[in-house]
Each structure stands twice: as C-alpha cells, then as structure tokens.
Amino acid sequence: MKKTTLLAAALLASTALSSQAETLRWARAGDSLTLDPHAQNEGPTHTIAHQIYEPLIIRDATGTPEPALATDWAPKADDPNVWVFNLREGVTFHDGAAFDSSDVVFSFQRAQSEDSDMKELLNSIVEVRATGPYQVEFVTDGPNPILPNNMTNLFIMDEDWTKANNAEKVQDFEGGEDTFSAKNANGTGPYMVESREPDVKTVLKQFPDYWGKGQFPLEVTEIIYTPIQNASTRVAALLSGEVDLIQDVPVQDLGRVAGTDGLDVRTAPQNRVIFLGLNMGAADIERDDVEGANPLADARVRQAMNMAINRDAIKQVVMRGQAQPAGMIAPPFVNGWTAEKDAVPATDIAKAKELMAEAGYGDGFSIQLDCPNDRYINDEGICQAVVGMFAQIGITVNLDAKPKAQHFPLISNGTTDFYMLGWGVPTYDSEYIFNFLVHSRGDDRGSWNATGYSNPELDAKIQSLASETDLTVRDATIGEIWDVVQAETLYLPIHHQVLNWGAKANVKVNPDPEDQPKIKYVTIE
C-alpha cells in the first residue's frame, strides 16, 4: 500500500512538472558560427548568444534599449570622458559563480583584443575600471555620447571560468581555430547549454536561478534549435509540426504557411541592408580575366554595375514583393539615413554600356561573385538574378555560393573580389557602418571592409564621430561621409530586408528589427 501511494504521488508530481514544461522547437537557415561571444559579429551567432549570455544593455522586441546586467548608466557628472554603469546585484552565472564588476572589466578587455570581432565597437574606450563590486567606469578618448548604443551585443563572461578553461584568448574564427569557448558557455542568461552539435542541433535548458524570474514570461523551459538550410525542408518541418518557429519563411511559401490552420506568418521590416561589395583597391584582382588591371578600380565600371541592377525586378520576382529596394547601405532605422540618399538608382542598360566603353571595357570582362547560400533571405537567388543583369552590360559573372561559415572568412580575410554581404546596425547609428565597412582596414577598424578603399581624410571624420558631443555637428559630419560613400559607389545596395517569421498560432513572438528572438519574452497559449 505504501509503495503504491508513493508511486501515485510520484506520477502526479511528474505530470504536474510536465504540464509546466514548454519546449520551443526553433529553426532557421543557418547555425551560430561559434559559442565564443566575442569571436563573430554576426546575427545568428548573437541570437543564440542572447539566450545564454547577457550584455549590460539589451534591446527588447521593439528595438528599445532596456537594462540587462546594468541597472542604469550615465556620463560622470564631473568628467564627460567617463560613463558610469551601475550593475545588477544578486546575479549568478550558470555554474553558480557570482557576477560582479571584475567580470565586466575582463569581458570588455577580452572584447578589445586582437582576434575579437567586436573591437570596432569599443575603439573610443581607453580604460575599463571597477570602482566597486557593482560599479564600472568606462573612460573614453573624448566624450562619447552614444557609447551605450555599442553595448547591446557585447556579452559578459565569467572571468574565473574563462581563465580556468584557458579561454582568455578570443577564438580566431577566420583562422580556423577551435577553442573551449567556441564549444562551451557559462553565462548569466535565461538558458544554459544542454548539448551542442554545430550545424545539427543545440539544446538549451532554462536556468533555474535566472535573476529575471518574475520580470519576464520565461514560459519556454527548453529550446531545441535546429539549423535547416534547405528552404523546402524548413517549411515542411513547420507545416508538419516538427518545429514551432522558423525565422526565415521563404517568400514563395508565405501564402502556404499563412493559409495553414494553426500557423501564422509575422512580418516586419528588418534593420538590415543586402548589398554587393567590390574590391576596388587592388591594382589587379585574381578572379577576373583582365590581366594587369582591376576593372573594379574604375568608378565608371562601378557606376555601370549599379545601373545594371534591376532592384524592382529582384523585389517582384525573387523576393515576391518582400523587400524594399535600396540606394544606400543604411536601413531607415539608422541615424544618418535619408530618403534622398536612399533613392534607388534607375536601371539604365544603355547608359551603363556607355560607361563600360568609356572605361575601356566595351567588350566586358568576367569575374567571380562570392555569395552565401544560408544566411540572408533568398541570398543565392538574388545572386543568380544579378548574374543575368550584369551579363546585359558584358560582365560575365561566375557565381560561387557556399555556406556562411565558408563565405564570411573570404570577406574578413580580404580574399574575395566581389561578394554579397548583409549589414544590420544594432547601434542604430551610421558610425557603426562607417567603422566596419568604410574606414581603412587596420587600426581596429574596417574589419569587414574588403573593398580595399582607403581615404585618410574620411577616416579622420569617422573617428571624430566617437567624441563629438554637438549632435548637430555630428549629424553634419555623418552626412558628409555618406556623400563620399555614395559618390564613390563603394557598394552596390540591393534592398532593405523584410522579415517573415512563421510560427504556431499559440507561440506568441513577433519579429524584432534585429531578427533576434529573445525567448525569455515568448509566451505560449
């Protein structure tokens, strides 16, 4: 009798626990590139990191900054070169260690190191110092009015755990390095790593001692994240109920998903531009058929290529209307964007051919285009479309599409001549674009500038943005920099990306501008 009673009680307890457990099965085209939170400044990588690690400041689902590991922040009253951050008390890492200011100092110094892909965000910081167990000061090289904007994807690691596992050095992802921090994690976030199979499956379990319990819904207790590169397979998984959420519904399947009982499509503009980059700085390039010269170095060729792209055709045919053609590589969310600069160049094949002839390439040339096939919405399809468009002006494009894990190092290592890239702006300010994509490569800037473009005068203007407190003057400088970027045709903008998330109707999650669902906000009906 006693055993029977105990068994019944155990079964009841098990049933109660299982009724409270909510598993979210989540998929998208590509996986996180690494678990090292400072090794890659890349959207899906940050998205997974946001479940495990936390920054000082986070953006909610609307893009609005809110406190995370910091509770408040402000410039120091008697020193405009110092920002003071007060930290949240009572926070623990997943291994039970207490969080304090030493972890913040350590993490920012790590993020400033050579192999970090986050260091451009921290260029103005000359010192990070703990002024108490729960207070940190950031000393900047001149007043930096937007420093907090740069911290929303800057994650805090446990200093003791990192050192104990010989992981102080940031993973050299581009160099193919594999490290402990690339495969293991110990954050303060709402979810802990249960298991990790890169490009196969990542399982996260809710952290029982998360400081945010009672402040956030936290209704999902387990996350099963599965990268599914093939679009039709990804949609089939949602339609069959195998997954509950996919971030990237293919545009050709929007009607099918929306028309299925129990499923919804949630749509929103994204804080991201898709564009093509050109290596204009080299005297000669490798992947073309022009000997002893670089056709991309001629501004007339770049202008002709810009005119040859029929952005409206890409929008209507490739994207099924789910895109906003772009004339600049800044999304409308960003300070510095203007409708005038974002005006879409008219497609003019005749004029483009004239420019090609003037530049000495009336017979055209051939070149390789490097493109990802698992990162952006219809990325390979867009590249296939522009191949035909460039053929109209005599440029034969050989398309090489590959997964993002192989594509991105081509850009960061400067071993591509012509490439696709998408750029989101988590700071919502043009300085972020300039630091990574326009500034000369080197001096902890320009790490994603594979164009070879270098303009010392423009570099000085870009650097001045970090310490200009007169916002009128600062905005004027931003406008001057954009004038040069547009006049030089540094990049060939394609469109502003539109997000289409597909989810079960009872999974309450809406796209945010960063394309980064933060599962602690998700509710399940």
Give the pLDDT confidence of 305-349 residue by residue, as tens digits: 999 999 999 999 999 999 999 999 999 999 999 999 999 999 999
Phi-psi region of 160 (alpha: psi -120 to 50; beta: other; left: phi over 0): alpha
- Please give the average per-residue pLDDT across 432-446, as a whole number: 93
For 55-103, the pLDDT digits (tens) are 999 998 888 999 999 999 999 999 999 999 999 999 999 999 999 999 9
How many residues in total does the chain contain? Answer: 525
Whole-angstrom Cα distance, residue 491 to residue 76?
Answer: 39
- Residues 6 or more apart whose Cβ sits within 8 Å of residue 117: 38, 39, 40, 41, 42, 173, 412, 447
For 180-201, the pLDDT digits (tens) are 999 999 999 999 999 999 999 9
Whole-angstrom Cα distance, residue 444 to residue 187?
Answer: 26
Phi-psi region of 478 (alpha: psi -120 to 50; beta: other; left: phi over 0): alpha
DSSP letters of 389-430? HHHTTTEEEEEEEE-HHHHHHHHHTT--SEEEEEEE-TTSBH
Which two structure tokens, joined as six digits, stand for 436?
A: 């990574």
Which helix (H) or strand (E) segment holds residue 349: the answer is helix 349-358
Whole-angstrom Cα distance, residue 299 to residue 487?
Answer: 9
Q: What is the DSSP letter of 316?
A: I
488 alpha carbon, distance to own chain's centre = 25
Whole-angstrom Cα distance, residue 492 to residue 347?
Answer: 13
The three-state secondary structure class of 523 is strand
Whole-angstrom Cα distance, residue 271 to residue 63?
Answer: 10
Domain CATH for 340? 3.10.105.10
Whole-angstrom Cα distance, residue 145 to residue 143?
Answer: 6
- Whether the pLDDT of residue 4 is over 80: the answer is no
429 part of a folded domain: yes
16 part of a folded domain: no
- Whether the pLDDT of residue 12 is over 60: the answer is no
For 220-279, the pLDDT digits (tens) are 999 999 999 999 999 999 999 999 999 999 999 999 999 999 999 999 999 999 999 999
6 part of a folded domain: no
464 part of a folded domain: yes
The three-state secondary structure class of 521 is helix
> Any alpha helices (H) in 444-520, and if so which ranges?
456-464, 471-488
Residues 26, 165, single domain; the answer is: yes
Q: Are 344 and 325 in contact (CB under 8 A)?
A: yes
- Please give the average per-residue pLDDT across 111-140, as a whole number: 96
Residue 463, amino acid: Q
- Residues 6 or more apart whose Cβ sits within 8 Å of residue 128: 104, 105, 108, 109, 136, 137, 138, 139
Q: Which one has a higher pLDDT value, 17 or 46?
A: 46
Residues 199, 72, single domain; the answer is: yes
Residues 455, 515, single domain; the answer is: no
Residues 403, 491, single domain; the answer is: yes
Which two structure tokens, joined as six digits, stand for 80?
A: 């405009």
Residue 329: domain span: 270-498
Q: Are 236 and 211 in contact (CB under 8 A)?
A: no
Phi-psi region of 136 (alpha: psi -120 to 50; beta: other; left: phi over 0): beta
277 part of a folded domain: yes
DSSP letters of 149-213? GGGTT-----HHHHHHTT--SPP-TTTT---HHHH----SSSEEEEEEETTTEEEEEE-TT-TTB
116 part of a folded domain: yes
pLDDT band for 442, please (50, 70, 90 cuts): confident
Residues 44, 71, single domain; the answer is: yes
261 part of a folded domain: no
Q: Are 393 and 363 in contact (CB under 8 A)?
A: no
Residues 40, 116, single domain; the answer is: yes
DSSP letters of 454-475? --HHHHHHHHHTTT---HHHHH
pLDDT at residue number 119 = 95
Which two structure tokens, joined as six digits, stand for 38?
A: 């400072």
Whole-angstrom Cα distance, residue 275 to residue 302?
Answer: 13
Whole-angstrom Cα distance, residue 198 to residue 183?
Answer: 9
Residues 181, 295, single domain; the answer is: no
Whole-angstrom Cα distance, residue 4 to residue 473?
Answer: 78
- Whether the pLDDT of residue 3 is over 90: the answer is no
In the chain, % of residues over pLDDT 70: 96
Residues 82, 217, single domain; the answer is: yes
Residues 513, 492, single domain; the answer is: no
Start-to-end Cα distance in the chain: 39
Strand partners, 140: 125
- Please give the average per-residue pLDDT across 159-180, as a whole number: 96
pLDDT at residue number 2 = 34
**What is the number of structural domains in the chain?**
2
Residues 82, 106, single domain; the answer is: yes
Domain CATH for 43? 3.40.190.10
pLDDT at residue number 20 = 60
Residues 217, 305, single domain; the answer is: no
Long-range contacts of 292-299 (CB under 8 A, 24+ apart): 295/359, 295/361, 295/365, 295/367, 296/367, 296/417, 296/418, 298/359, 298/360, 298/361, 299/488, 299/489
Q: How distant, in Å, are the alpha carbons of 136, 220, 236, 331 from that of 275?
A: 39, 36, 29, 12
Residues 200, 348, single domain; the answer is: no
Q: How distant, in Å, are the alpha carbons of 289, 344, 345, 416, 482 from that of 486?
A: 28, 12, 11, 22, 6
Whole-angstrom Cα distance, residue 272 to residue 25?
Answer: 25
